[in-house]
Amino acid sequence: MGWLYYAPSKEALIQDLLDDCESEKLKRRSLDSFLVQEGDQLVLWSVAEVTAKDDSTAGLKTGQVLKLICCDLLDRSGSTWGVKRLDEAMGPYYYSCPLRFLDMADELSPSWRKAVLKCHLANKLQAAFLTA
pLDDT in tens, 12-32: 999 999 999 999 999 999 999
Going by the DSSP 8-state scheme, the letter that residue 6 receives in this structure is: E
Please give the Cα distance from 116 to 24 (Å, whole number).
34
Q: What is the mean pLDDT of residues 36-42?
A: 93
First to last CA, the chain: 44
Sequence-distant contacts of 54-57: CB under 8 A, at least 24 apart: 54/24, 54/25, 56/25, 57/25, 57/26
Which residue from 12, 127, 14 is spatially nearest to 70, judged by alpha carbons? Answer: 14
Please give the Cα distance from 24 to 112 (Å, whole number).
31
DSSP string, 22-90: E-SSEEEEEEEEEEEEETTEEEEEEEEEEEESSTTBTTBPTT-EEEEEEEEEEEEETTEEEEEEEEGGG
pLDDT for the residue numbered 58: 72
Average pLDDT, the chain: 92
The proportion of the chain whose per-residue pLDDT surpasses 90, expressed as a percent, equals: 83
pLDDT in tens, 55-92: 877 788 999 999 999 999 999 999 999 999 999 999 99
123, pLDDT greater than 90: no
pLDDT for the residue numbered 112: 97
Q: What is the mean pLDDT of residues 89-107?
A: 96
pLDDT for the residue numbered 102: 97
More confident residue, 5 or 56: 5
pLDDT for the residue numbered 62: 92
More confident residue, 6 or 128: 6
Please give the Cα distance from 11 to 14 (Å, whole number).
5
Residue 131: pLDDT band (50, 70, 90) is low
Please give the Cα distance from 37 to 128 (Å, whole number).
21
